[in-house]
Structure formats: structure tokens, C-alpha cells
Copies of this chain bind each other. A is one copy, B any other.
Amino acid sequence: MAADKLTSRSEDFSEWYNQIVLKADMADYGPVRGTMIVKPYGWKLWENIQGALNSRFQATGVENAAFPIFIPQSFLTKEAQHVEGFAPELAIVTHGGGKELAEPIVVRPTSETVIGDAYSRWIQSFRDLPVLINCWNNVVRWEMRTRIFLRTMEFYWQEGHTAHATAAEAEERTLMMLDAYTDFSVNEAAVPVVPGLKSNNETFPGADSTYTIEAMMGDGKALQSGTSHNLGQNFAKAFDIKYLSEENEREFCWTTSWGVSTRFIGAIIMTHGDDNGLIMPPRLAPIQVVVVSIFKKAKEKEAVLPVAQRIFDELKAAGIRVKLDDRENMSPGAKYYEWEMRGVPVRVEIGPRDVQKESAALARRDIPGRDGKSFVPQENIVAQVQNLLDTVQAALLKRATDFREDNTHDVTDYAGLKTAVQTGWARGWWAGSDEDENIVKQETKATLRCYPIDQPEGEGVCFYTGKPATRVALFGRAY
């Protein structure tokens, strides 16, 4: 097992991450450089993320649909900033059906253009508004330095695209989806994100403003985990999305777009994982509970298996995502190692003694070793396991929140920022220019992650320029 040992986080966080992705059976590398294969265990997590986001989208009236992956190259050029942002990252289809194409086709890097074109045809009157559509799909961006889930050439995401009659409605929708993302992150993934506004430098190409949820990873770096863009009338003007108002005037629409991708799986891994492997937040875990039967002799097996099976059946009937591990020729230790690596939040162990005493051992994944074990009667095991799942969920959120707070430092000068971003985030009053922000980035590798929505009252002094400042910004090194 030594050869199989996971590199520790303190030793090499990056290597720890790469190993976990493979060892926890989440994903693999695809044959084309930069592509990934998402294996069943990773995809099930994604499906659970999809379910949790879908229910939030639907509660706000959003419906799912699908737009083509192929976009005429000319579409990309219609919005000036958009093409500038995405042109270097495009994959281009030049041949189809054995012939060279008259106009090359772009594999979508995002769908504002093709959806803008459709909306210009679908939207005629104020009665057609708002249009609230979301797509679950795959997009392609030609990335040079790729890492599974965090940055891949092809990735999976949802992209929401809405059109509205007024600027106020578009801004309301942009913030509504930011709220949905924050609620999902905190309450489903136990990832305590900071919602905020991106700086001008970091705004989506073609947007008026971009909001973000920023998460702190286990190494103190930031991961942008979802974005919500107010596109103003930029795409409406580029694609002629107009409606006839109640006053019978032709007006341009106001549009938004917002997305969360398989990158979020990286956020979960790097927020909760430890030196034994992954830790899945119970509400999204593909497997919430594993029941491990422990026996050596045939007689023990006869006694243990039916009890393990009965407990498995009870948990399953209660709607818990549970797996029974009754493999033979494998030591309990090897089984524990595997399920810990895969991050199953709660393990139920049933051995010969438990059968006699009508007990079971419960092990929680977030607290390793004996401290995380409790011994309980088999009676009422469902309620006990459900409680423990809730406990683990809350503990993961608290631990990640504490970690973020401990590693976020209020700074009042540039030296303070330089120190803070070695290990975590810097938070301080900021009135710098776009150029100032670039200098900070060059000198410290830290970027302005966001202006948090939650701002202190009053005003302050910019830690970099010394000018009066009206907003506090968060800085950090980022993935």
C-alpha cells in the first residue's frame, strides 16, 4: 500500500490534487491533450450538482433547452470585446463530410452569440419577455495549461441566458442567480463562497458587470466557482434583440448570462479533502454511506452478512444513497482505505461482535481514526445515520468557513498584502486603477478576486494608493 500512498497536502498540494482525482476514481485523462474523461463516480457528483442547481433555477422560472455546439465564425465577431476575449481560445472546424467548408465553424466556447441570434427571432413583443433559459452542455476552450476539472479543453457546465425589458430587471436577475449559486455552494456543497463583483479587468468579455462566487482552497488560493454576468444591451445591439414595448416603441432588450461548471468539482475536492483523500459533502455525495461487513471465518460471514444486508436495506429504503461492501478476499483496512480515499461521509461497520451485541460502529470521514468513531445500537440506525450525515455536513461548512476566516487578513498597506497572499487572502480598502491592479498582479501574483457584496459601512483609505476608497476588495492568488 506504500506505493499507493497519497502525497500529503503540505508536501505538494498540486500533486495531492492530481493524485486524488485519479485515486478517488473521479476522472481520467482523454487522448486529446487537455481533455478529460469523467468516470461514473465523478459524473454522479456532477448529476447531484445538476439536480441541486436545477431545482433552484426552476424555482425562479428558468427552463432548460439546447443550442448547437457549432457556431458560424462570423457570429463571434459581432460583439467586439467578446471576440477579443475568446478568439485565442477557439477550436475551429474547417472540414465536414470530406470537404473544406466555405465558412469555418467554431466549436462553442460559450453561447451568447448563437443564443442572441435565436432571441432576436423569438422575441417580438414585451409579452414575450422575460425569456429565461438554461442549458446543460459541453464547451471547448483551447487552454494550454490544463488540469482535470479546474481547466480543461472541453468542460461541462450550465449556461443560463435571459432577456428582459429593463435594465433593472436584468440586474435583478444577475443578482438572483448569484444568490442561487451562493445558496447552492454554502448549503449543498458546504463550500463557503464569498459573493462579489469582479473588477473591470476581470469582467467577462462583452459584459457590463460580472459577479462571482470565490472559494478558498485548502492551500489558501482562490477558485472562481461560478459567475453571473449583466450583459447590458451589448449582445442585444450586436444581435438586434428588440421588442415592441407597451408604448409601441422598438427597444433593445437587456440580457444576462451565468454559469457554473465541472470546475466546481475541483472546488469541492480542494475545500474538503485531507491527506487520506476526498471528503464528499453529504448532501451531494454520490455514496453517502458505505456498510462494510467484517468477517474472516465462514461462520462469521454467515452471521454478519444478513445483518449488514438488513442495515443496507433499511438505509436504502430511507432514501439514503448507500453501498454495501461485502467483498471477500479484502481486509477491512483495505476497504476503509478505499472508501476514505473516495470520501464517503459515513461508514457503518458490522462485525461478528456487533451481531452479538446488536450494535454497529459508525465512522465519520471528516474526523479520522478513533475520534471519529461511535458505537451505536442497531435499533433506530437510520435516524442515527441521518443525524450523523447532517452533523458532517455542518462540520465541513464550519471547518471551511473557519479556515477561510483564519486565512483572510485585513491589510492597510501593500506590504500587508504581500504577506497575506503568501498563505491566503488579503482584504482591504481599494481605490486603485486597472493599471494599479495589473502591477499588483505582476508583483505578487495576486489578483483582485472581487469586491464582496457584504461591505463594511463608511469609507477608508486605499492600502495601495493611499487615496480615499469606497469599497473593500479581496485579493488572492488564484487557480
Give residues in A with beta carbon < 8 Å to B.
28, 30-32, 35-40, 42-44, 46-47, 63-72, 75, 87-98, 104-105, 107, 114, 117-118, 121-122, 133, 137-138, 140, 142, 144, 153-154, 156
Contact = CB atoms under 8 A, between A and B. Distances in A.
B31 A68 contact: yes
Nearest to A329: B127
A43 B70 contact: no
Copy total for this chain: 2
A117 B39 CA distance: 14
B114 A67 contact: no
B40 A71 contact: no
A91 B96 CA distance: 4
A95 B38 CA distance: 25
A144 B96 CA distance: 10
Given A30-B68, A37-B65, 14 more contacts: A35-B68, A37-B68, A38-B66, A40-B63, A40-B65, A40-B133, A42-B65, A44-B63, A70-B140, A88-B98, A91-B105, A92-B95, A93-B94, A98-B142
Contacts of A133: 40
A122 B40 CA distance: 13
Nearest to A286: B63
A47 B68 contact: no
A189 to B, nearest CB: 20
A92 B98 CA distance: 9
B32 A105 contact: yes
Contacts of A140: 69-70
A64 B89 contact: no
A47 B32 contact: no
A65 B262 CA distance: 13
A119 to B, nearest CB: 11
A92 B88 contact: no
A93 B96 contact: no
Q: What does DSSP make chain A's interface, helix, strand, loop or mixed? A: mixed
Contacts of A46: 66
A88 B95 CA distance: 11
A278 to B, nearest CB: 17
A86 B417 CA distance: 57
Given A63-B44, A107-B107, A144-B97, A69 B37 contact: no
Contacts of A137: 138
A67 B32 contact: no
B64 A43 contact: yes
A142 B118 CA distance: 22
Nearest to A39: B65
Contacts of A92: 93-96
Contact of A97 (B32, B37, B88, B98): B88
A66 B156 contact: yes
Given A92-B94, A92-B95, A93-B91, A118 B37 contact: yes
A67 B32 CA distance: 11
A107 B153 CA distance: 13
A72 to B, nearest CB: 5
A41 to B, nearest CB: 8
Given A66-B37, A133-B40, A138-B69, A89 B94 contact: no
A140 B93 CA distance: 12
Most buried by B among A46, A47, A88, A118: A118
B40 A64 contact: yes
Contacts of A91: 70, 93, 95-97, 105
Contacts of A31: 68, 71-72, 75, 114, 117
24 contacts: A28-B118, A28-B122, A30-B70, A30-B114, A31-B68, A31-B72, A31-B75, A31-B117, A32-B68, A32-B71, A32-B72, A36-B68, A39-B65, A44-B64, A69-B69, A69-B138, A87-B98, A88-B97, A90-B96, A91-B93, A91-B95, A92-B96, A93-B94, A107-B107
A35 B107 CA distance: 13
B107 A154 contact: no
A63 B44 CA distance: 8
A97 to B, nearest CB: 3
A392 to B, nearest CB: 24
Nearest to A28: B118
Given A91-B93, A97-B89, A98-B88, A70 B40 contact: no
A385 B410 CA distance: 62
Contacts of A63: 40, 43-44
Contacts of A71: 31-32
Most buried by B among A31, A94, A104, A144: A31
